[in-house]
Amino acid sequence: MKYSPKDYSSLVGMEGFSATLLNNHFTLYQGYVTNTNKLADILAQLAREGKQATPEFAELKRRMGFEFNGMRLHEYYFENMGGKKPLDKAGPLAKKLANAFGSYEAWEQDFKATGAMRGIGWTVLYEDTATGWLFNQWINEHEVGHFTGCKPILVMDVFEHAFMIDYGLKRADYITAFFKNINWEVVGGR
């Protein structure tokens, strides 16, 4: 299976995100797609040659999680952006967030605080598919820290490439801009 990069150019022009930042970010995402495809090809070749017990195979298998999740997390991130309307506070997602956190505002404060933590990574609102529980989680690297059986509902990139061109070290300002651009219809649909 070959993956193709998705076109997110419609996000250019979003308030709070320069075209330079977004185009650089799209290029980075395309690199994850390219590397996912390359690794899949190399791993398939090693398997055809019967070389699954080699250190090369093992390390490439491990690397696949980084590249694939880098691709997929960026897709979640870009797809949950570009919104123009606030969350419907009477809708099902707002009610579920309020139920999980006590109020929408408490959820937002927790999500923003998670995103503002020192370090690089991702902030993800997950839904535990077994229980329906919603929780915010910090993910360091693309392949480390994901909760098994949980579905990403809202994904925010907090690696420096997502904000430093426009915001420098002011991550909180980036998070504010991110919240202004959440596509709540996409998030609610997840």
Q: What is the pLDDT of residue 76?
A: 98
Contact residues for 13 (Cβ-Cβ < 8 A; gap 6+): 19
Tell me how many degrees the CA angle 187-8-107 measures, rounded to the nearest 5. 25
The pLDDT confidence band at residue 12, using thresholds 50, 70 and 90, is very high
pLDDT tens readout for residues 51-93: 999 999 999 999 999 999 999 999 999 999 999 999 999 999 9
Q: Is 139 helix (H, G, I), strand (E, B) or coil?
A: strand
The pLDDT tens digits of the residues spanning 150-186 come to 999 999 999 999 999 999 999 999 999 999 999 999 9
Higher-pLDDT residue of 46, 141: 46
Q: Tokens standing for 61?
A: 């298998």
Please list, in sequence order, all residues whose beta carbon lies within 8 angstroms of the beta carbon of residue 22, skipping any fewer than 6 positions away.
8, 11, 12, 14
pTM of the model: 0.94
Q: What is the pLDDT of residue 55?
A: 96
Rg (alpha carbons) of the chain, rounded to whole number:
18
Torsions phi, psi for 2 (to 5 deg): -110, 135
Q: Rounding to the nearest 10 degrees, give the CA dihedral for residues 25, 30, 36, 39.
A: -110
Domains of the chain: 17-79 (1.10.287), 92-189 (3.55.40.20)
- CB within 8 Å of 16: residues ≥ 6 apart: 166, 174, 176, 177, 178, 180, 181
Q: Find where tokens 């299976």 sit.
A: 1
Tokens coding 26: 């799209």
Give the closest residue to 152 by CA, choosing from 109, 110, 186, 102.
Answer: 186
